[in-house]
Chain A
Amino acid sequence: MKIVVCVKEVPDATAHKRIDPGTKRLDRSGEGALNTFDANAVEEALRLKAATGDGEVVVVSMGPERVLNSLRKALAMGADRAVLVSDDGAAGSDLVATSRILATALEREQPDLVLFGQQSSDSDGAVLWAAVAERLRRPVISQVAELTLEGGSLTGKRQTEFGYDVIRAPLPAVVAVADSINEPRYPSLKGIMGAKSKPQETVSLADLGVEASDAGPEGSRTEVLALSDPPPRGDTRKIEDDGSAADQIVAFLTEKRLI
């Protein structure tokens, strides 16, 4: 079974995140790291590979050349190889353009299963899988907290706003896993040492056959118009308890329509 895990490099959690006022894009100049939610997807892929006894786990990402450093973490965990779509023309792609490029890269791989993490920690995006599934014309299951593979089909259990769903889909399919699905492993020292020598391929848009006009800002259908400071948090009220604090809290919650 061939599993592709789509992963992303995000600014390191300790980095001060800012949007560059010039490009109106997230400033990615600082230290980068593998999106922590993607580690859950890599872990699930490795478990599925182990359970089926054979197969391949490929990580696919988009970004500048240096993203290979972050992909190495996935390789150190046990993924077999990495493919990075790296092209200046792809920078600034929105969902439409990103899903188009990624789907093209995935078609080249022809995986049985495509896995995504629950969200990206930088843009809080949690939608890409559905767009990619649509482009690949594959069934999609998102927010999966338990995943089982039986014969040629997958069953995913997920929490919803109302309870839980159990959804089944035939392979090939696209699945986004919740971070509750597993606890990602620590890369072993041997894994870390071996990661560098695993196959790491960098491909351009031209290699994929994606037109320049279908990528980057030109291929995007949304745009950032302006940046501004968020409104202040509103008044903060502070009282000393004179015995009526509980009633005053109830009144406040009522006023805010929270109860």
Chain B
Amino acid sequence: MSILVFLEHHGGELQKGSLSVLSKAASLGAGDVAGVIVGSAVAGLAEQAAKHGAATVYVADDAKLEAPLPQPRIDAIAQLVAEQGIETVLFGQSILAADIAAGLAARLDAGLNWGLTDISSDGGNLVGKQSALGDSVLVDVGWKSTPRIGLFRAGAFDPSEQPAAGTVEAFDVQLQEHSLAAEMVEQAHAEESGPSIEDANVIVAGGRGLGEPERFALVEELAKALGGAVAATRAVVDAGWYPYSAQVGQTGKSVSPALYVACGISGAIQHKVGMQSSKTIVAINKDPNAPIFEFADFGVVGDLHQILPKLTAALQARKS
């Protein structure tokens, strides 16, 4: 049984998400594990992949493959699957990876399970874990045939380095006509304005417990120190302290960042439904009975006015 992991790269670096899937695949002990890198001038990245458990790293290096568009990559992987008899192709979640995984499923008439948080090998067969319906239920999912395709949630695993022994094999991709139809006209890095709420990995949110609109500055400073976005509860948006576009909750946005810091937020259900799938929740509130403490991973009963500036300063000190 052989597993192929799609290795996404950006700015001359393999992405942590795909390396962590590679490490996971290697740890399954379910047969050969290979990685595939597709791009232009990417040969140098193969070594890093080998260090994370890829016995073979397939590299398609071609100027035509420079733009990170999905369809040429579907061609590349479909070709490898056919030529190398690969049974399983795994991806770490990203905009690009999702499009490749789904297109590949259609191309190969292969099953795709997405939103996976884990995978295990059960007597040679693979079983995925999927967290569904707002993380209220765990689903065991399987594949009825090979090839199998799996797309993992971001942050499902951590990458781990393993003894490097992989070989690198270059291959040429036969591109389909329709795969060349789309072209990248422009690519740019994010502006310096910080991430939007939906995309942010870290969110610092303020509620009525801040006491007055001016204290939102404390929230903004903390968000800046954490490299995160600022969010607000409905109550403070209603009161005009912060714009509606920053509202998180039932009638605002739903977010699931790696870290959500709730400042002066009681945790009413209307807010909770918009942020409960955050991976880690830190809450600061002066009311020890606030419902937020029932689902925060780390709760602090105390005065925001005291704690937030100290926390911001401590984080800034760490950075410098």
> Interface residues, chain A, CB within 8 Å of chain B?
17-19, 24, 26, 94-96, 99-100, 103, 123-135, 137-143, 155, 158-170, 173, 220-231, 233-241, 243, 245-250, 252-253, 256, 258-259
A164 and B188: CB pair below 8 A? yes
Residues of B contacting A253 in the complex (Cβ-Cβ under 8 angstroms): 259, 282
Number of B residues near A (Cβ < 8 Å) is 87
B105 and A131: CB pair below 8 A? yes
Pairs A-B, 8 closest by C-beta atoms = A241-B302, A221-B111, A127-B102, A246-B310, A139-B181, A222-B111, A130-B102, A131-B106
Q: Which of A222, A238, A258 contacts B293 (CB 8 A)?
A: A238
Q: Is B74 an interface residue (CB 8 A)?
A: yes
A230 and B301: CB pair below 8 A? no
B293 and A236: CB pair below 8 A? yes
A163 and B190: CB pair below 8 A? yes
User: Which residue on B lies nearest to A214, using beta carbons?
Assistant: B109
B99 and A142: CB pair below 8 A? yes
B295 and A236: CB pair below 8 A? yes
In the bound complex, what is the Cα–Cα distance between A129 and B100 (angstroms)? 11
Task: Report the minimal beta-carbon distance from B240 to chain A, rounded to whole angstroms.
Answer: 21
Which residues of chain B (135-150) have a CB below 8 Å from chain A? 135-145
Q: Would you mind naming 8 contact pairs between A and B with Cβ atoms under 8 Å apart?
A: A127-B102, A134-B104, A134-B106, A230-B136, A231-B138, A236-B295, A241-B300, A249-B311
User: Which residue on A lies nearest to B107, using beta carbons?
Assistant: A134
In the bound complex, what is the Cα–Cα distance between A95 and B126 (angstroms)? 18
Q: Which of A96, A139, A169, A233 contacts B112 (CB 8 A)?
A: A96
Q: Is B303 an interface residue (CB 8 A)?
A: yes
In the bound complex, what is the Cα–Cα distance between A18 and B190 (angstroms)? 38
Task: Report the minimal beta-carbon distance from A127 to chain B, rounded to whole angstroms.
Answer: 4
User: Which residue on A lies nearest to B276, using beta carbons?
Assistant: A233
Q: Which of B139, B189, B199, B297 contacts A236 (CB 8 A)?
A: B297
B131 and A221: CB pair below 8 A? no
Q: Is B69 an interface residue (CB 8 A)?
A: yes
User: Which residue on A lies nearest to B99, using beta carbons?
Assistant: A130
Residues of A contacting B182 in the complex (Cβ-Cβ under 8 angstroms): 139-141, 167-169, 173
Q: A138-B181, A224-B139, A252-B282 are in contact. Are A245 and B133 (CB under 8 A)?
A: no
Task: Report the minimal beta-carbon distance from A235 to chain B, rounded to whole angstroms.
Answer: 8
B109 and A162: CB pair below 8 A? no
Task: Report the minimal beta-carbon distance from A172 to chain B, rounded to whole angstroms.
Answer: 10
Q: A95-B112, A159-B199, A249-B298 are in contact. Are A127 and B101 (CB under 8 A)?
A: yes
1/0 contact string of B165-189 vs chain A (CB within 8 Å): 0000000000011100111111111
B132 and A249: CB pair below 8 A? no
In the bound complex, what is the Cα–Cα distance between A155 and B138 (angstroms)? 39
